[in-house]
A and B are shown apart, each in its own frame.
Chain A
Amino acid sequence: MKAEHKEASLEAQAKETKQHEEIEKELEFSSLYRWQHWIRALSIVILIATGFYIAMPVIAPSVSSQPDNFMYALFRSWHQIFGFVLTAAIIFKTYLFLMAREHEMERSSLRDLFDIKVWLQQVGYYLFMTKHPKLRGVYNPVQFAAYIFFYILMFVLILTGLVLYVHVYHEGLGGVLFDLMRWFEVLMGGLANVREIHHIAMWGVIIFVLAHVYMAVFNAVFGEEGAMDAIFSGFKWHKKH
């Protein structure tokens, strides 16, 4: 497809939208779904920021004669709070994905995941060589694989995060999980390795987010259904049939 052709078609599309009101709204994401997306997104951003500080505390607190300025503890505390928020969100989303009826369209993407033809076409699409494939579910296989990769990272982060956590706080949940988490600690070869894995997984997340946001924008610009705002508004748009 030629560039000018595309531009023309976009223009036409826009015109259509404004003038003919031929487009119908479809609820793609429920509000719960959108909330958890943004809660997750916010947690991740905060966890990355506080995580970097925990790894290398670059800001020093202002000098105070009173011992009441526990800056590092505060950062750690926010890290833990959002760590648990994220943990909850991830578990919740995992549950939805596996169980909820509304998420059948996500699960049906699995079939495309194992379909080599769809894969080839999708990759071809991203490489400007083929058309976008017809999908059985909501996620294309590249996207789905990326999400799987992301969830693996999440569970690694949660697991390593919890191992770190039981040594930070010995009461409550920390106490309850203590023995179990130490077992994982041995599996990973000691706490230093746990911390290292936690840190490396963070980099995986950072790279995912960057690519993810780009893809979101890419799809918004070139995709047919304006997925970008769906995650804000819940609706996607397509032509009336």
Chain B
Amino acid sequence: MNFKEKDTTYDSLYASFEERIKKLQKLPRLKEDTSIEEVIKEHGFSRRDFMKWASAATAMLALPANFTPLMAEAIKVADRLPIIWLHMAECTGCTEALLRSANPSIDSLIFDYISLEYQETIMTAVGWQAEQNLEHAIEKYKGRYILMVEGGIPAGDSSHYLTIGGHGKHGEQISIDASEHAAAIFAIGTCSSFGGVQAAAPNPTNAQALSKVVDKPVINVPGCPPGEKNIVGTLMHYLLYGTLPALDVFNRPKWAYRLRIHDLCERRGHFDAGEFVEHFGDEGAKDGYCLYKVGCKGPYTFNNCSKQKFNQGTSWPIQVGFGCMGCSEPDFWDTMGTVNEPLRDRLYHTAFGGLGADATADRIGIGLLTATAVGIAAHAAIAAVKPPKK
């Protein structure tokens, strides 16, 4: 689905959402005695508040306003989908991002509605009991649960770099087993989406993306960490779309990763005008000039940070004058060059057996150009004294 086609498919999309919700409604509920509407009412919100939330969520997913009632229906069936969250090789930043989620708030996620069956950072059970929870959840909700994975996965001969549990099971095996019966699989964060920081060159532990380890479709929600809204939004998205491939080329949900940071950036006017921050703290920096020359990688990065922002809309990297470092792109640690320089100054540190330490494309280019020029000059000099044979 490209940019143009989208409008024309809304009707069929609506129909498919309706059908999907009907299907979900037939699944048994996890919570017999309560509905999201009740829960929300208990919290002192009115139905109007709820619909307002639904309409915000609809807008977030880049759907037209007339999808709002469907969104409201969708969230009502969310309790059919228990969640299992696994930690692999990670920094827990993605879990922290989930904890910052406000819309719906995490308390309501945990306490009132969606059933978080396994999440090592917040669950109470420990050790054998924790393992039992995981096994029970997989067994009980076969084919129904959503698997969310945080972290890259040391794989193959390196899988022993992560073990979990009293039986010393490898992280790779745990991921494979948990994915087996999942209704949907989300890779939360750049680590599980693309390997992440531990997979940066030389990837000492052979850390891999979840999609490289399991042979089932994986929806990637990259970002280091992804914004809290992208995590929760992807869940909403799944409720509506199911496994519809509303994903981009890197299997990221299009509603969030369709456009570049650069396309939605508040400093874009300055970019087009050629007004750039030359160094941090200068007058341009005080005026909010574009950060391209101090290394912004927004032109190569697909994410919605400027729209959603972080921490309930408080800010985002470009607003604080740093620029984007490309954190939702595959291998961004290795492909985005120096963080405070434009891409053309990318270092080839690992290339040429280390000789590329301070080499950039331009320096190599100038080097080759110089060599060519020297060759030409030498050739011309010889030609002057010793012309070619006829």
Contact = CB atoms under 8 A, between A and B. Distances in A.
A6 B388 CA distance: 9
Nearest to A7: B387
Contact of A192 (B292, B343, B389): B343
A203 interface: yes
A171 B6 CA distance: 13
A65 B249 CA distance: 42
A3 B372 CA distance: 25
A55 B344 contact: yes
A207 interface: yes
Contacts of A199: 343-344, 361-362
Mostly, the A contact residues are: helix
B249 A186 contact: yes
Contacts of A69: 273-274
Nearest to B271: A72
Going nearest first, the 10 A-B pairs with the smallest beta carbon separation are A203-B365, A71-B274, A73-B272, A191-B300, A72-B274, A6-B387, A192-B300, A55-B344, A192-B335, A178-B2
A182 B390 contact: no
Contacts of A73: 272-273
20 contacts: A3-B386, A55-B362, A56-B342, A57-B292, A70-B272, A71-B274, A128-B383, A128-B388, A167-B260, A178-B3, A185-B249, A186-B250, A191-B301, A191-B329, A192-B343, A195-B343, A203-B368, A206-B369, A207-B369, A224-B390
Chain A's interface size range is 35 or more
A192 B372 contact: no
Interface string B251-285: 00000000010010000010111111000000000
Interface residues of B, number: 53
Given A56-B293, A199-B362, 10 more contacts: A71-B274, A72-B271, A73-B272, A128-B387, A167-B260, A175-B4, A191-B260, A191-B302, A207-B372, A222-B387
Nearest to A170: B3
Nearest to A60: B274
Contacts of A176: 2
Contact of A200 (B276, B342, B365): B365
Interface string A199-241: 1101100110011001000100110100000000000000000
Contacts of A182: 248-249
Given A186-B249, A192-B343, A175 B365 contact: no
A195 B300 contact: yes
A60 to B, nearest CB: 6
B178 interface: no
A214 B248 contact: no
Interface of A: 1, 3, 6, 9, 55-57, 59-61, 67, 69-73, 75, 125-126, 128-132, 167, 170-171, 175-176, 178-179, 182-183, 185-186, 189-196, 199-200, 202-203, 206-207, 210-211, 214, 218, 221-222, 224
A186 B194 CA distance: 13
Interface of B: 2-4, 248-250, 260, 263, 269, 271-276, 292-293, 297, 299-302, 326, 329-332, 335-337, 342-344, 346, 361-362, 364-365, 368-369, 372-373, 376, 379-380, 382-383, 385-390
Contacts of A132: 388-390
Contacts of A71: 273-274
A185 B300 CA distance: 11
A192 B390 contact: no
Contacts of A126: 379, 388
A183 B249 CA distance: 7
Contacts of B385: 3
Contacts of B271: 72
A17 B56 CA distance: 84
Most interface-central of B301, B368, B386, B387 (chain A CB within 10 A): B387
Contacts of B380: 214, 218
